[in-house]
Structure 1
Amino acid sequence: MRDINKVNEKTYTKARFFKCALQVNPAGYIKYRGQQQTISEDDYNQQLLEAALEAGIEIIGLADHGSVDAVDKLRRLFMEHGIVVFPGFEIASSEKIHFVCLFDENKSSQELERVLGSLRLLDPQDGICPSRLSAEQLIDEVEQQDGFIFAAHCTNDNGVLKIGQMNHVWQHKELRAAQIPGPIEDLRGVESDFYRKVFLNKDPNYRREHPIAAINAADVSKPEEIKADGASCLIKMTKPCFVSFKQAFKDPESRVRLNSDKPENYSSALERVYFVGGYLDGVDIEFSDHLNALIGGRGTGKSTLIECIRFALDLQPFGTAAKKQHDDVVKANLGVERGRVELMVRSAAMHGRRFKISRKYGDQPVVLDEGGNVSPYRPRDLLPRIELFGQNEIYEMTHDPQSRHQLVERFLESDHAAYDDVIANVLHRLKENSDSVIKALQQKNEIEEDVERLPKLQDQAKQFRELGLDEKLKVIPKLEKEKQLSSRSSEEVSRLQEAIDTLQDSLPDTAFLSDAALEALPHADLLRSQRSALDGLTVKAQEVLKHLTEAQQQTSAQLIHLQESLQALIAAEELTLENAFKDIPASQGKTGRQIGAEYQSLLRQIENIKPKQTLLQSRQAHIEELYRLRKKLLFELSEATSARASAMQRSVKRLIKRLGKKVHLKLKNEGDRQPLLTFLVDCRLESVGPKRLSWVTDGDFSPAALAERIRLGEDALRETDWGISPLVISALCHLPERKLLEMETLALPDIMEIELNVTHGTQEPLFRKIDELSTGQQCTAVLHLLLLDNHDPLILDQPEDNLDNAFIAERIVTELRNAKLARQFLFATHNANIPVFGDAEWIGVLTVEDRKGHILPEHQGAIDLPNIQHLTADILEGGEVAFNQRREKYGFN
């Protein structure tokens, strides 16, 4: 007979859930129910096969009552269609407790007969063949025969929980599974909640060292019954074989599921990585959607593989040292041969679509869709929340407060993010306001300089008037006024021309409603009508613009004519003045012409400055209005930052609940005062160094409050309790306004304090700040955060480097076993606790041959494969406790 383990052997490189119907009866079984079989055995087998294929059944347990006659024919048929058959039988103990016994898929019918003989069967009674052995003896004997035994229909008649005082049977360590008709929660309230409490291991009389596995394996006596949810369950294995099947029940919490328990997986995943060229040339890995562990001896290339994945995803390492290490690794392993890394990813952000990411050394990554077309997306668009940390990178992160804060913020609910755009908009308007204030102040200063000259110029003019020149030259200011008014007319016409040009550029553009754009749209006619309406508006607007342009041109021509006439008259008046200058008596060594020219220039300056007095008032009013607007904007900024801080605090509280008693967080809004200190140091205050500014870090005032006090003057600063020395007060009050405007919008980052519970087990939690922790404890706190819910993968290179084995076994592995159901993890590790206790679905063993890294197909799989077991034990590190637990759990040395 063919060995099922040799069929498609190379395809089994990772563990997954197989759908198993474990109590399937052959055609002859129906007679035990007092019914007559109406179809032949061959027809029954064929119909059963078709129903099993339709239901997605991959493994069946064949369990006739005390008979194995039908095994060979049914097994042969099912095996030909890729369904594995574990042959066996149903049997009752001397207490009439029913059990199903299953055996290796390759066990012959003759061997099964001998097993039946060893169970000391009596003659059939009541439709079954009971054994002379007690339930405990029966369990021991099946285990001795390398079989697997589970309690059948344990909550019904002849079930181990239905028959009283059988808790010693339930507690037998080799009884690892019991069958119930549906989910455990369906047992709530039945028999005073007895059954549910027993299965949850909460009944003290039935308490086991390890909880029993609940399975659905209802009797299948008719082909269509195999389709029912209660007829099958899910068992995780690398290969569909009996060895893996049995070992699954040694870790049922991870490997045994009811159909109703398996969660839908909406997470992203790295499905495959393939290397072309370089150290890992030809390495081709299909990852599990759950926990993946890359192992191997030191120097085999675990970190190389992780860094090459980082390279393909274009992810930047944290810190200078990590960046250099990454660049060196990638260059050394891909650079010489211009190697390429290919990743197949499934993206939760893109609703489960699959993409191929390809990156050659020296090039940027290229993203292809499932059709092979170049996609506009970047790798980060596909996996926006992926986390990848190399060796010691987490340790480096723990020493940077802002990085810790950013890490925590990634796991907060996004309520606070709604205020980010509001804050950014207000800051943008404040920047525009600052620019306007600075410009207005500069203009005011320029005008003030001219206006301050006016009294002096007027006094000089008075001296000229005392010479009797006022009456003769009184027309000069009037001529200057006429020149100003005439120039203003030209400006008014120019503004209208600018408005016409702007309107011309703003006419509707209907290119977006072209026939090509509307092709095949269901309501294209209505969109064409919209295009026609816009085209009509354009025509009417163009007519108006035409009339406006003509009127503007006519007016401009008319003004030119009138201005030329006025200029001619002014020129004549000025010529008359020139002639009048010679009649002015000489004085102080100056001719009359010189005196007249000076007086004319003086009057021109006075007339040019006089309007600036009004303009100065206008500028002052404009500045006051800008400051009123600024005050309103600063209030808006305060409101938005306050609302964001409140939302952040609520999110932090929710995150703390998710972290349980492992990690505690304290958020101090705007608690980082270093930016304000740096700002003042950069201002280079006279005789003031960083030490004299220590009051900044000790205070809790805002930068805007400090700027306001500085504007109010030294007395206002002295009135505060901020502890500012007189020398610093004086220096602050000499800051220019542009620095105060800048200070008002200075953002102070939040401070996120991370505290780790340093106690274990049920001890009262004791939280310590991350800065007070050891290196391993600091990394532990961050790792707890990284294990929080996330749809994108978490990839870590040797996280155990800064963690102790006890912590990994007691905390991290427990979280991994739960989190991996809804998230993909990839760890490069030499610690046995992660792949073994975490029950990794894929373990890949890196080896080196001819100076190249390899992961052979036979070196991939889960811990249920003997080869992987031995490689794991040989390669991985771990304490005595870890190896003892592994030996007990998996039965190998």
Structure 2
Amino acid sequence: MSKMTSTNDKQFPRGAEWVRADFHLHTLKDPGASRKPFRDEYRGVNENGHDKANGFPKDWIGRLKEEQIRVAVVTNHNHFDRDEYKTLRKQGANEGILVLPGVELGMKDGGGGIHTLIVFNPDGWVDNPEHDDRIHRFLSTQFQSTPDEGTRTKDDFCHCLELLDGVKEDYFVVFAHVQSDNGLFQELQGDNLAHMINGCGKRWSERVLGLQKVKRLDVVKARWPDTQPIPALVQGSDPQCIEAVGKSDQHCYLKLGELSFDAVKFALFDHKHRVRAELPSPRQVVLLQQVRFHGGALDGLAVPFSPSLNCLIGPRGNGKSAVIECLRHALGFREGADDRYKSGLVERMLSPAGKVVVEAKDEFGREVRVERERSGQPSVYLDGQYRDISPGSVLKDILYFGQKDLSARSESFDESFLDKLLADRLDPKPQEEAALIEGVRQAARQLKETLEATEKIAALQKEKNELDAQLQVFTDKGVDKKLADMTLFDGDRQAIGAWQQALKELGTNLKESADWDDADAAFPVLKSKRSEPIAVGLAAAKAKSDEAKTTAQAALQTLREAFVTVGEALQKLAPVQDEMKQEVAELQKTLNEPQLDLELFRKKKARLDQLVKLLAAGAQRAKTEQAARDLLGAAVNKLHDFWREKFTEREAEVRRLEAALPSEIRLQTAFKGKRRAFGEFLRSKFRGSGLQAASYETMEEAFIDGRELYQARTDLEKHLSENAAMKVRSTLLESLADFLSFRTPDETVILFHQKPLGEYSLGQRATVILHILMHLQRHSVILIDQPEDDLDNETLYSHFIRQLLERKELTQFVFATHNPNIPVLGDAEQAIVCRKEGETFSFDHGSIDDKDIQQRIVTVMEGGEDAFRRRKEIYQLWKSSN
């Protein structure tokens, strides 16, 4: 039995998403004079006699919903109304909008005061066990009487931060309209900004998280001290009336995994990756949406995927690899390395009646569902309709790497890895290749038949000579003249039988070679008006085709009738045959030569006539030997030209791929470059022949494949001993088709800093492979089980995670990992926590700014909170001692 946190309970079921935020909002309770339109709009009663002010919360939230704002901060001037805030928060929660408490303070600093937005964590400042309005209490320390929009705080900015910290509750600061009146840059000229930053010390970097409404970033960069990073650039509508709520020329988007103060603060801290001014462009690519399981150990489990980075985490044996491998199984990928473990894992997870279902979208936005049981093939549904197609025909550009696949040590690793990258861009044309190979085999058979016919002529001639000698006795006794008519009859009967057999074969060949139904079905039905001018011509051609079909069928029927007629004619000769036997018996008695068997004479004479014909046919076939060799050469050249064209096509794609890689990674290719493979082929073919090792080495060095060996067959003595050359020629003729259709594999080598990848350690190899994957943009989905295997953490971060942070906006990643650096430093949009208790699997999911997921990461991947804290303390000691 398995269970998973319901996606309905999640604010963001597919992990972190980009949502619009407004950090500068005013309400009906704002005391500022500029907010008078708010109060005018909601003064008095409506047509139903109700106080208009009661409708403000719904209207305010409604405007946010219209503007698709999901994070809103109440920032009235120098004032906070706790009751109004709670009403707005409750109304917003019903609409999926997070409303945070805040205040726009007019700070004492600067010539006219600096408007500063303080955003509070509602858990402590508003919803505390003591029911203490701590925001109001803080404001009372700064203002003696009821403040208005122009009132300034009693204390300066740095002292206010100190007082706020003293409350021991969380908050952060965003400077309002920084380049306008009462803004940070407008009020602090010269070195005053640097003085303020230095005066606040550590509190500045910990609390100042945003600048609102930056008009010119170059001015900000010029004024900002180099010692401090520029905070997040955010936006706010700063409305004066209800219609202006959420209205602003510039927008601000946060990437959030939950709607909470902590998630918003986390986004501002990591603003490089989680704050932006525009939504990312929609991706018209393949995306996995969800994988579901029916039956088996994972029954009832459903894992939703983010379009960006998804990390399956958890202890070993808790289902991480199971999800990856079941995905692989459903999508129809082969296991790769360690296939027994991977296929066995799928069998254990699905059970005999289990099924895995993958829901996805193709590059055109169509809904794709792939279902696969533990055995059998994947079933594909396109927009809900079953289609007899493979998953790869619609879900293109998906890469899969299971455990050990990135570090596998094999001579073909480079080729197989690049073949994965190029799979959707190359057409292997297996049917065309098979047809060309069969053409070579047929031509080789024909040549062998021709050569065998030449060899048989001598044997036939010898048999004829022996029969001539044996029949000479009968000739000397005059028997041949007495039996002349009988022997002619025997020849006639034999010729008639041969002709009957030829008619039968002709009819069979006509029947097998002519498929009129296919031709009729292929007749085009014209639909375009532009094709109408040729309709008459096509109709005439169809009439001729029908006529040919009728004629051919009539010819076939006539052949059948001819065959029957010949058979009937032979039956009529049966009595004549009996009569001739009687005549031969009578003649045998009168001949008085018992040693001369006349019936044997008839048989030998018939065989002699047959030999004469066979020798004539053999002589004709021997004359066609050169034609057979020419036919074979042409077939072999077509096959090798096909291989060359495939290499050229692949080479062009390899160069395009290489152009996207950093200069330290090069791809080296060679047509028929793996000559060692030809040597292994030779050893398999000549096994047991007695050839010496030196002969194999000589042939491997001198010839690149079987075609070259065949072409040099007459001059093999230049390379081999006479005895070895004879053995080679004999085996070459015996397995001619195998030699001529053998393909010496092309060679592909991945070079890193001019050194082949195979010469590096496993960790270095994996680093280069991940480096390649992170630079390519042609694959929309990449599945990897434990990409961190064989990598140290420094390499993992510098060569993988940094690139991953940029690449995940273009590619959907699904990783199973034990390393916390990948989900945490990679800023995973969706972390799937896998657990197993007894025989029960349970999965939870969410972004790393989700508090529950954060706790799981610390517990599962860091060894628990105590281990995490202890490690942090030790690192701090190391840092201070150095």
Q: Which TM-score applies when normalising by structure 2?
A: 0.76
> Equivalent of 1:606, from 592, 599, 608?
608
* Residues 1:291 and 2:305 are matched in the alignment: no
Match of 1:809 in 2: 797
Supply the AA of the counterpart residue of 1:261: P
Q: Deviations over 1:164-191 (max 9, x none)?
A: 657748996354333458xxxxx9xx8x
Aligned pairs (5 A) from 1:460-859? 465=475, 478-479=488-489, 482-483=492-493, 485-487=495-497, 490-491=500-501, 494=504, 497-498=507-508, 506-507=516-517, 586=593, 590-591=595-596, 594=597, 600-661=602-663, 663-682=665-684, 683-684=686-687, 686-690=689-693, 692-695=695-698, 698=701, 701-709=704-712, 711-715=713-717, 717-718=718-719, 728-756=724-752, 766=753, 768-787=755-774, 788-789=776-777, 791=779, 793-847=781-835, 849=837, 852-855=840-843
Question: d(CA) in 2 for partners of 1:300 and 1:636?
Answer: 54
Moved more, 455-464 or 679-688: 455-464
* Residues 1:178 and 2:211 are matched in the alignment: yes
What is the CA distance between 1:608 and its match in structure 2? Answer: 1.5
Aligned pairs (5 A) from 1:16-31? 16-26=17-27
Question: d(CA) in 1 for partners of 2:746 and 2:144?
Answer: 75
Question: d(CA) in 1 for partners of 2:842 and 2:568?
Answer: 92
Check the 8 A contact 1:62/1:88 in 2, yes or no: yes
Residue 872 to residue 577, structure 1, CA distance change in 2 (3 Å): closer
Check the 8 A contact 1:275/1:284 in 2, yes or no: no
Residue 768 to residue 545, structure 1, CA distance change in 2 (3 Å): closer
> Equivalent of 1:81, from 80, 86, 95?
95
What is the CA distance between 1:848 and its match in structure 2? Answer: 5.3
What is the CA distance between 1:730 and its match in structure 2? Answer: 4.3
Supply the AA of the counterpart residue of 1:19: R
What is the CA distance between 1:803 and its match in structure 2? Answer: 1.5
Check the 8 A contact 1:356/1:368 in 2, yes or no: yes
Check the 8 A contact 1:387/1:795 in 2, yes or no: yes
Match of 2:74 in 1: 62
What is the CA distance between 1:251 and its match in structure 2? Answer: 1.5
Aligned pairs (5 A) from 1:193-208? 194=218, 207=226
Provide the secondary structure at the position in 2 that maps to 1:254: helix
What is the CA distance between 1:748 and its match in structure 2? Answer: 1.8
Check the 8 A contact 2:178/2:213 in 1, yes or no: yes
Check the 8 A contact 1:408/1:785 in 2, yes or no: no
Check the 8 A contact 1:448/1:616 in 2, yes or no: no
Q: Deviations over 1:218-258 (max 9, x none)?
A: 54556566676855332122220111100112222332233
Question: d(CA) in 1 for partners of 2:474 and 2:730?
Answer: 43
CA-based RMSD: 5.2
Question: d(CA) in 2 for partners of 1:693 and 1:137?
Answer: 88
Question: d(CA) in 1 for partners of 2:335 and 2:287?
Answer: 21
Check the 8 A contact 1:832/1:882 in 2, yes or no: no
What is the CA distance between 1:74 and its match in structure 2? Answer: 3.9
What is the CA distance between 1:838 and its match in structure 2? Answer: 1.1
Residue 291 to residue 488, structure 1, CA distance change in 2 (3 Å): same
Provide the secondary structure at the position in 2 that maps to 1:293: strand
Supply the AA of the counterpart residue of 2:634: K
Check the 8 A contact 1:685/1:731 in 2, yes or no: no
Question: d(CA) in 2 for partners of 1:25 and 1:537?
Answer: 86
Provide the secondary structure at the position in 2 that maps to 1:176: strand
Residue 572 to residue 156, structure 1, CA distance change in 2 (3 Å): farther
* Residues 1:232 and 2:248 are matched in the alignment: no
Question: d(CA) in 2 for partners of 1:406 and 1:495?
Answer: 48
Question: d(CA) in 2 for partners of 1:156 and 1:583?
Answer: 142
Provide the secondary structure at the position in 1 that maps to 2:41: coil
Check the 8 A contact 2:858/2:868 in 1, yes or no: no
* Residues 1:432 and 2:446 are matched in the alignment: no
Question: d(CA) in 2 for partners of 1:822 and 1:421?
Answer: 35
Match of 1:259 in 2: 278
Number of residue pairs aligned between Structure 1 and Structure 2: 826
* Residues 1:862 and 2:847 are matched in the alignment: yes
Match of 2:46 in 1: none
What is the CA distance between 1:497 and its match in structure 2? Answer: 4.7
What is the CA distance between 1:861 and its match in structure 2? Answer: 3.2
Question: d(CA) in 1 for partners of 2:319 and 2:702?
Answer: 51
Check the 8 A contact 2:336/2:402 in 1, yes or no: no
Match of 1:450 in 2: 460
Question: d(CA) in 1 for partners of 2:623 and 2:428?
Answer: 36
Check the 8 A contact 1:796/1:827 in 2, yes or no: yes
Moved more, 861-870 or 534-543: 534-543
Check the 8 A contact 1:142/1:148 in 2, yes or no: no
Question: d(CA) in 2 for partners of 1:324 and 1:133?
Answer: 71
What is the CA distance between 1:477 and its match in structure 2? Answer: 6.3
Question: d(CA) in 2 for partners of 1:487 and 1:548?
Answer: 21
Question: d(CA) in 1 for partners of 2:432 and 2:548?
Answer: 37
Residue 746 to residue 532, structure 1, CA distance change in 2 (3 Å): closer
What is the CA distance between 1:822 and its match in structure 2? Answer: 3.5
Supply the AA of the counterpart residue of 1:288: S
Match of 2:171 in 1: 147
Check the 8 A contact 1:105/1:241 in 2, yes or no: no
Match of 1:103 in 2: 120
What is the CA distance between 1:631 and its match in structure 2? Answer: 1.6
% same residue:
19
Question: d(CA) in 2 for partners of 1:486 and 1:736?
Answer: 41
Match of 1:721 in 2: none
Question: d(CA) in 2 for partners of 1:347 and 1:753?
Answer: 35
Match of 1:244 in 2: 263
Check the 8 A contact 1:307/1:390 in 2, yes or no: yes
Residue 256 to residue 443, structure 1, CA distance change in 2 (3 Å): farther
What is the CA distance between 1:738 and its match in structure 2? Answer: 3.4
Supply the AA of the counterpart residue of 2:809: L
What is the CA distance between 1:639 and its match in structure 2? Answer: 2.4
Supply the AA of the counterpart residue of 1:78: G
Moved more, 662-671 or 570-579: 570-579
Q: Deviations over 1:241-287 (max 9, x none)?
A: 11110011222233223334355363332524457664x67766444
Check the 8 A contact 2:25/2:72 in 1, yes or no: yes
Q: Which TM-score applies when normalising by structure 1?
A: 0.76
Question: d(CA) in 2 for partners of 1:421 and 1:442?
Answer: 31
Question: d(CA) in 1 for partners of 2:372 and 2:64?
Answer: 40
Residue 376 to residue 689, structure 1, CA distance change in 2 (3 Å): same
Question: d(CA) in 1 for partners of 2:557 and 2:307?
Answer: 73
What is the CA distance between 1:68 and its match in structure 2? Answer: 4.0
Question: d(CA) in 1 for partners of 2:665 and 2:577?
Answer: 87
Supply the AA of the counterpart residue of 2:710: A
Question: d(CA) in 1 for partners of 2:161 and 2:427?
Answer: 60
What is the CA distance between 1:371 and its match in structure 2? Answer: 9.2
Question: d(CA) in 2 for partners of 1:164 and 1:744?
Answer: 85
